[in-house]
Amino acid sequence: MRLLIVGGLQGQIGAATKIAMDRGAKVTHAADIDQAMAELRNGRGADLVMADVTLDIGRLVRALAAERICTPVVACGIGTDTRRAVDAIRAGAKEYVPLPPDPELIAAVLEAVADESHQLIHEDEAMTAVLKLADQVAGSEASILITGESGTGKEVLARYVHRKSNRAERPFISVNCAAIPDNLLESELFGHEKGAFTGAVARRIGKFEEANGGTLLLDEISEMDARLQAKLLRAIQEREIDRVGGGKPVKVDIRIVATSNRDLAEAVKRGTFREDLLYRLNVVNLRLPALRERQKDILALARHFAQKYAQANGAPFRPIAPPTERLLLSYAWRGNVRELENTMHRAVLLAQGAEIMPEAIRLPDGTQVGGTSLAAQTGDLSGPVKTAVETAQAATRSLVGRTVADVERDLILDTLDHCLGNRTHAANILGISIRTLRNKLREYGDAGLQVPQPGETRLAG
Ligand SMILES: Nc1ncnc2c1ncn2[C@@H]1O[C@H](COP(=O)(O)OP(=O)(O)OP(=O)(O)O)[C@@H](O)[C@H]1O
Ligand SMILES: [Mg+2]
């Protein structure tokens, strides 16, 4: 986690720096907006910018947008300065942190941005086998493709590979190819030269150069468009990149790890992913099993999360009661580790008494997980056929008379609720691209419907 502090933070710069460093962040300082922009352009990137509220936050946010630098900004000021706080948020700051800095608040902000618990918990043999392969290839320079359903821990595994590699002391830089629009992604990856487009007032170093000597994680690579795929292929083959608007190529020394929760071979067949790029990326394939395929991990992870969230919420630690364990083991966990993590977080908040009882295991909307059988949840028809047919009939009956657009909207919004607003996860379950999902959500938002934001559901009170 790299933090860039801009301005004097009204005399609190020392305190804020210390708190952030105690939490493991690397901190750099810039005196003003111009110096901050220079830092960010030069590849000394940051995951978060903390700016003094007395600076022109609007100007900073606009400069970042104009130069296509996707780094969130948090404004800091003395607590009573509400006028300025409101202005900063209006100007595009993600948060307002009052000064003097509160360690818990700074920690929460850092965590929200970085979500930096990279611990990899495992107990199941299926997972041990994957890690053994990861250990074997980590030290090599081979590109690695990590595949697995959404929420299985692909990013966690990518960081594990980096930690075990000879590049561990060098940067680990991750780019989410699905979250950044195509036209911005090119600059994000390859950087640009001054004058490359309106707004490019100076040279900007991209993630490839920033990760030089280290590992570059290309997250959700299947979402990259054809032109960028070609450019990426060249970067991997030639070990050099072209900045946007740049005249001559720049040498880079990078280990690439890519992730995908779509079947890339299938994408090649459909013509949406280059076959030659797939071969380059897929020198080694680490396939993460779904959580339901590693039963021992379910309990190991559940205990880990119960502990983690008790601590984070200042709640007493409660062990998981045996009937609760049976319930957790019988559930299908379609959202994998992420769903289990969210469920255990809720359970910690809902639990009363000495142990976490089955009543505390609930879906995001508050309904209790009833211990539906794995077969029913995965659509396995080997169960009682009559029930399956009846269920299907009941489902279609309630659909007849409704338009496709109507049903589609309900399905999309309900799925998004189920995923606590997580777009990537929802798109995955729905089998549509994240871009299609975003377009649909924009449509619904424009029509005045309530669209769950990341981390929330429409039903939560
Ligand atoms: N083995 C593990 N030990 C501890 N936490 C884990 C483990 N695997 C996953 N997690 C946690 O589960 C969540 C999802 O993990 P991660 O983001 O790596 O999944 P992903 O496969 O990249 O998901 P997506 O496809 O949605 O991007 C994270 O909060 C991560 O910390
Ligand atoms: Mg991921």
Buried b (16+ CB within 10 A) or exposed e, 66-101: ebbbeebbbbbbbeebeebbebbeebbbbbbbbbeb
- Region 237-258: mean pLDDT is 93
- Is pLDDT at 229 greater than 60 in this prediction? yes
- Ligand 1: centre distance to CA 36 (Å): 32
| Upstream peptide bond of 322 is cis (omega within 30 degrees of 0) | no
Q: What integer pLDDT is reported at residue 399 of this predicted model?
A: 66
Measured torsion, CA atoms of residues 218, 440, 365, 332, in degrees rounded to the nearest 10: -50
Q: Quick one: pLDDT band at residue 246, thresholds 50, 70, 90?
A: confident
Q: Among 294, 336, 337, 419, which residue has the most ligand 1 atoms within 8 Å of its CB, making it the best to mutate?
A: 337
Residue 170 Cβ contacting ligand 1 at under 6 Å: no
Residue 338 Cβ contacting ligand 1 at under 6 Å: yes
Ligand 1, atom nearest to 148 Cα: 21
138 vs 445, residue with greater confidence: 138
Q: What integer pLDDT is reported at residue 373 of this predicted model?
A: 39
Ligand 1, atom nearest to 120 Cα: 3
Q: What integer pLDDT is reported at residue 389 of this predicted model?
A: 42
Residue 335 Cβ contacting ligand 1 at under 6 Å: no
- Region 15-36: mean pLDDT is 90
pLDDT above 90 covers what percent of the chain?
Answer: 51
Please say whether the beta carbons of 250 and 209 come within 8 A: yes
Ligand 1, atom nearest to 422 Cα: 26
Residue 66 Cβ contacting ligand 1 at under 6 Å: no
Q: What is the pLDDT of residues 373-401, one digit of tens each?
A: 343 444 433 333 334 444 444 455 556 66
Ligand 1, atom nearest to 146 Cα: 21
Neighbours of 174 (CB within 10 A): 18
- Ligand 1: centre distance to CA 305 (Å): 12
From the CA of 119, which ligand is nearest? 1
3-state secondary structure of 331: coil
- Is pLDDT at 290 greater than 80 in this prediction? yes
Q: How far apart are CA 44 and CA 65, in angstroms?
A: 18
Q: What is the pLDDT of residues 429-442, one digit of tens each?
A: 787 888 889 889 98
Residue 300 Cβ contacting ligand 1 at under 6 Å: no
From the CA of 174, which ligand is nearest? 2
- Region 301-318: mean pLDDT is 85
Range scoring the smallest mean pLDDT among 35-49, 88-102, 110-124, 447-461: 447-461
Q: What integer pLDDT is reported at residue 65 of this predicted model?
A: 83
pLDDT above 70 covers what percent of the chain?
Answer: 90
312 vs 428, residue with greater confidence: 428
Residue 311 Cβ contacting ligand 1 at under 6 Å: no
Residue 67 Cβ contacting ligand 1 at under 6 Å: no
Ligand 1, atom nearest to 219 Cα: 27
Q: What is the pLDDT of residues 159-168, one digit of tens each?
A: 999 999 999 8
- Region 116-129: mean pLDDT is 87
Q: Quick one: pLDDT band at residue 448, thresholds 50, 70, 90?
A: confident
Residue 155 Cβ contacting ligand 1 at under 6 Å: yes
Q: What integer pLDDT is reported at residue 338 of this predicted model?
A: 92
Q: Quick one: pLDDT band at residue 365, thresholds 50, 70, 90?
A: confident
Q: How far apart are CA 217 and CA 333, in angstroms?
A: 26
CA quadruple 437, 442, 447, 448: dihedral positive or negative?
positive
417 vs 150, residue with greater confidence: 150
Q: What is the pLDDT of residues 74-118, one digit of tens each?
A: 999 887 778 888 888 888 888 888 888 888 888 888 877 765 457
- Ligand 2: centre distance to CA 154 (Å): 6
- Is pLDDT at 318 greater than 60 in this prediction? yes
Burial of 26 (0-12, 13-18, 19+ CB in 10 A): middle
- Is pLDDT at 315 greater than 60 in this prediction? yes
Residue 341 Cβ contacting ligand 1 at under 6 Å: yes
Q: Among 121, 127, 292, 338, which residue has the most ligand 1 atoms within 8 Å of its CB, making it the best to mutate?
A: 338
